[in-house]
């Protein structure tokens, strides 16, 4: 049943990357439990604009959980208290009337805060640029059965490819490691014949870039897997380890 | 191969391989420790089996190679754990989450490998002073010479059993050993399967099994050392 709830928000405010941040407390009333978390933040911003205050900056784009733009560390968890959803898919029915909600940006050295709740996630783009692609033009869509691929491989590659690069894995990781992201991006190509050809070069280049950008080292803790809105499996990390070590031992 | 050890995964491989090597050592150690309790059921006089084991370990020429390798294993495992942890702390950043970490379903041990490792190291140092340095003759002690069966004949050597037996009559020391063993069990419950994961094992059938085996290894080793220390205190 849809109902209206009143909330207290503790929001991280930071006027630019160099500024010192602090928490500000706001009240938002009459939030529909049928609305999304970002719609609730829209309500807050409208309120702030009407009061001639600076609205809270936060990342958002598609608002249907496929673009990977939204972030937010909500009440102790990336993408909030629900499982397997992005913040834009998080419903306000997951919260109760009178609740205090703490909203923070992703915290990681490789993801510096740009403004308020926005962080710079270009480090992920740099890792992709280092090798997360197939470098030949593969032309148009080929005939479906021209290259036979086992159903199990196709499914697993597709599961890995569902990573939207939101960075929740890094935000959740006690080591600030990007291994779940990198391993998904390496795996989605390593399991298919078109990507297999460059698998060694890709694994080495992407891991080198990941290390260079100051991400931490994976300790197989698994918090990333729990918080991933797309359910990317930890087994991708083992596959990346194998791809990388195999490539290195071949050199 | 060139810059393997400067890459994150290469360093983790060192942690993994050195860790598995240390686990292998722990199994050998546990088998030898079990001699402390087994005299009765094997038909020997108290202490004979353990003394023979210690004599074998002290006189075996292979030990001269294995011992430095083992020390290297410890050094690599500890040094690289510190390097990696410092990098991880730097990557995590200064600013902690004000709302804490409420991610559920994460192994407690996996979040506390460094504190557990430090506990094991502290125990290890005490342990080395308790027994290793004495049995190796670096610290003087009075055990006296005893005779024991050794590969079909009788041999004489120092009474290492007496040293252990006497040490384990002290309740605080026994409790310290129990704490060290329990810390070890938790460390291994995560460490064992994690080591294989780092090498690249992700077989969907065997990975869940490996996690179970990991707990079994942890219980055998941690539990084994605990039981031996307690039994020595209570029954011998």
pLDDT tens-digit series, residues A170-203: 999 999 999 999 999 999 999 999 899 999 999 9
Average pLDDT score, chain A:
96
Strand A73-74 versus strand A77-78 pairing type: antiparallel
CB nearest B95 (choices: A74, A107, A223): A107
What distance in Å separates the CA atoms of residue A81 and residue A78, rounded to the nearest whole number? 8
CATH code, domain carrying B158 = 1.20.1300.10
What distance in Å separates the CA atoms of residue B214 and residue B201, rounded to the nearest whole number? 14
CA angle A203, A207, A209 (to 5 degrees): 120
Q: How many domains does chain A have?
A: 2
CB nearest A239 (choices: B98, B194, B202): B202
Residue B75: pLDDT over 80: yes
Tokens describing residue A14: 């930071």
- For residue B109, give the chain A residue with the closest CA: A221
Is residue B185 domain-resident? yes
Backbone region of residue A131 per phi and psi (left: phi > 0; alpha: psi in -120 to 50; beta: other values): left
pTM of the full structure: 0.94
Tokens describing residue A202: 């890709």
pLDDT at B3: 81
What distance in Å separates the CA atoms of residue B9 and residue B80, rounded to the nearest whole number? 12
Is residue B99 domain-resident? no
Buried b (16+ CB within 10 A) or exposed e, B41-69: eeebeebbbbbbbbbebeeeeeeeeeeee
Closest by CA to B52, choosing from B137, B131, B149, B136, is B149
Is residue B102 domain-resident? no
Note the pLDDT tens digit of each residue in B13-48.
999 999 999 999 999 999 999 999 999 888 888 899
What distance in Å separates the CA atoms of residue A186 and residue A183, rounded to the nearest whole number? 5
Residue for token pair 């960075």: A167
Whether the complex's predicted ipTM surpasses the cut of 0.90:
yes
Give the minimum alpha-carbon distance from B111 to chain A in angstroms, rounded to a whole number. 7
Note the pLDDT tens digit of each residue in A70-98.
999 999 999 999 999 999 999 999 999 99
pLDDT at B107: 94
What distance in Å separates the CA atoms of residue B116 and residue B122, rounded to the nearest whole number? 10
pLDDT band at B1 (very low <50, low <70, confident <90, very high): low
Residue for token pair 């991708």: A236
pLDDT band at A153 (very low <50, low <70, confident <90, very high): very high
Q: How far is CA B164 from the centre of its chain?
A: 17
What distance in Å separates the CA atoms of residue A237 and residue B197, rounded to the nearest whole number? 8
What distance in Å separates the CA atoms of residue A28 and residue A11, rounded to the nearest whole number? 12
pLDDT at B118: 97
Residue for token pair 């021209």: A146
- Say if residue A41 is in the same domain as residue A156: no
Q: In which domain, by residue range, is A56 found?
A: 4-114
Is residue B213 domain-resident? yes
- For residue A75, give the chain B residue with the closest CA: B99
- Say if residue A165 is in the same domain as residue A243: yes
pLDDT at B42: 85
CATH code, domain carrying A129 = 1.10.1060.10
Q: How many domains does chain B have?
A: 1
- Work out the number of other CB atoms within 10 angstroms of the CB of residue B24: 12
- Say if residue A110 is in the same domain as residue A127: no
Strand A100-104 versus strand A4-13 pairing type: parallel
Return the sign of the alpha-carbon dihedral for residues B207, B208, B210, B214: positive
Per the CB < 8 Å rule, is A216 touching B190?
Answer: no
User: Are the C-beta atoms of residues B112 and B186 closer than 8 Å to each other?
Assistant: yes
Give the minimum alpha-carbon distance from B90 to chain A in angstroms, rounded to a whole number. 7
Tokens describing residue A19: 């500024």
Rounded mean pLDDT of A228-238? 97
- Say if residue A128 is in the same domain as residue A230: yes
- Say if residue A229 is in the same domain as residue A213: yes
Contacting residues of B for A211, CB less than 8 Å apart: 7-8
pLDDT band at A136 (very low <50, low <70, confident <90, very high): confident
Per the CB < 8 Å rule, is A109 touching B92?
Answer: yes
Q: How far is CA B53 from the centre of its chain?
A: 18
Question: Could you tell me which residues come within 8 angstroms of residue A28 by beta carbon, excluding any fewer than 6 positions away?
Answer: A6, A7, A9, A40, A43, A44, A47
- Work out the number of other CB atoms within 10 angstroms of the CB of residue B166: 13
CATH code, domain carrying A88 = 3.10.20.30
- Say if residue A242 is in the same domain as residue A131: yes
- Say if residue A195 is in the same domain as residue A93: no
- Work out the number of other CB atoms within 10 angstroms of the CB of residue A189: 22
Q: Is B86 exposed, middle or buried (0-12, 13-18, 19+ CB in 10 A)?
A: exposed
Per the CB < 8 Å rule, is A226 touching B106?
Answer: yes
Per the CB < 8 Å rule, is B98 touching A215?
Answer: no
User: Are the C-beta atoms of residues A96 and A81 closer than 8 Å to each other?
Assistant: no
- Say if residue A45 is in the same domain as residue A105: yes
- Say if residue A108 is in the same domain as residue A187: no
Is residue B224 domain-resident? yes
CA atoms within 13 A on the CB side of B202: 17
Closest by CA to A110, choosing from B87, B19, B184, B56, is B87
User: Are the C-beta atoms of residues B117 and B125 closer than 8 Å to each other?
Assistant: no
Determine which of A75, A180, A238, A251 to mutate to test the interface with B (most B C-beta atoms within 10 Å). A238
Average pLDDT score, chain B:
94
Per the CB < 8 Å rule, is B7 touching A208?
Answer: yes
Per the CB < 8 Å rule, is A241 touching B198?
Answer: yes
pLDDT at A2: 83
- Say if residue A13 is in the same domain as residue A90: yes
Q: In which domain, by residue range, is B80 found?
A: 4-93+107-235
Give the minimum alpha-carbon distance from A246 to chain B in angstroms, rounded to a whole number. 9
Rounded mean pLDDT of A103-122? 97
pLDDT at B2: 60
Per the CB < 8 Å rule, is A220 touching B100?
Answer: no
Strand A100-104 versus strand A113-115 pairing type: unpaired
Higher pLDDT, B149 or A89: A89
Give the minimum alpha-carbon distance from A4 to chain B in angstroms, rounded to a whole number. 25
């Amino acid at each position: 049943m849809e109902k209206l709830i009143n909330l207290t928000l503790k929001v991280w405010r930071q006027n630019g990357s160099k500024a010192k941040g602090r928490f500000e407390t706001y009240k938002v009333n009459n939030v529909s439990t049928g609305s999304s978390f970002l719609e609730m933040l829209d309500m807050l911003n409208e309120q702030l604009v009407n009061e001639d205050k600076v609205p809270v900056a936060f990342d958002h784009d598609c608002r249907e959980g496929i673009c990977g733009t939204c972030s937010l560390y909500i009440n102790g968890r990336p993408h909030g208290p629900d499982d397997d959803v992005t913040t834009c898919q998080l419903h306000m029915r997951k919260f109760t009337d009178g609740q205090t909600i703490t909203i923070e940006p992703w915290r990681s050295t490789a993801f510096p805060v740009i403004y308020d709740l926005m962080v710079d996630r270009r480090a992920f783009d740099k890792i992709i640029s280092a090798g997360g692609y197939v470098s030949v033009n593969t032309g148009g869509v080929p005939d479906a059965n021209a290259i036979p691929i086992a159903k199990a491989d196709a499914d697993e590659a597709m599961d890995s490819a569902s990573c939207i690069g939101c960075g929740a894995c890094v935000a959740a990781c006690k080591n600030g490691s990007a291994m779940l992201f990198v391993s998904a991006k390496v795996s989605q190509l390593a399991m298919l014949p078109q990507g297999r050809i460059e698998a060694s070069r890709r694994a080495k280049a992407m891991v080198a870039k990941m290390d260079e950008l100051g991400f931490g080292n994976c300790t197989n803790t698994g918090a990333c897997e729990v918080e991933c809105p797309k359910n990317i499996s930890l087994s991708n990390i083992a596959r990346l380890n194998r791809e990388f070590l195999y490539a290195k031992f071949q050199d | 191969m060139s810059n393997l050890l400067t890459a994150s995964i290469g360093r983790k491989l060192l942690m993994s391989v050195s860790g598995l090597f240390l686990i292998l050592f722990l199994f050998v150690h546990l088998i030898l420790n079990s001699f402390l309790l087994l005299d009765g059921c094997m038909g020997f006089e108290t202490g004979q089996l353990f003394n023979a084991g210690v004599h074998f370990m002290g006189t075996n020429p292979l030990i001269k190679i294995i011992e430095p390798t083992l020390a290297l294993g410890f050094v690599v495992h500890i040094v690289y754990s510190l390097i990696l942890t410092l990098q991880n702390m730097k990557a995590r950043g200064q600013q902690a989450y004000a709302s804490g970490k409420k991610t559920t379903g994460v192994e407690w041990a996996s979040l506390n490998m460094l504190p557990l490792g430090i506990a094991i190291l502290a125990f290890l140092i005490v342990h080395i002073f308790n027994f290793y340095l004495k049995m190796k003759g670096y610290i003087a002690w009075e055990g006296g010479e005893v005779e024991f069966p050794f590969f079909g004949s009788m041999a004489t050597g120092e009474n290492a059993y007496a040293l252990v037996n006497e040490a384990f009559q002290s309740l605080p020391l026994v409790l310290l050993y129990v704490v060290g063993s329990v810390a070890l069990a938790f460390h291994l419950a995560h460490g064992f399967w994690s080591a294989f994961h780092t090498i690249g094992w992700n077989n969907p059938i065997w990975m869940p099994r490996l996690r179970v085996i990991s707990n079994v290894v942890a219980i055998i080793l941690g539990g084994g050392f605990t039981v031996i220390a307690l039994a020595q205190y209570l029954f011998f």
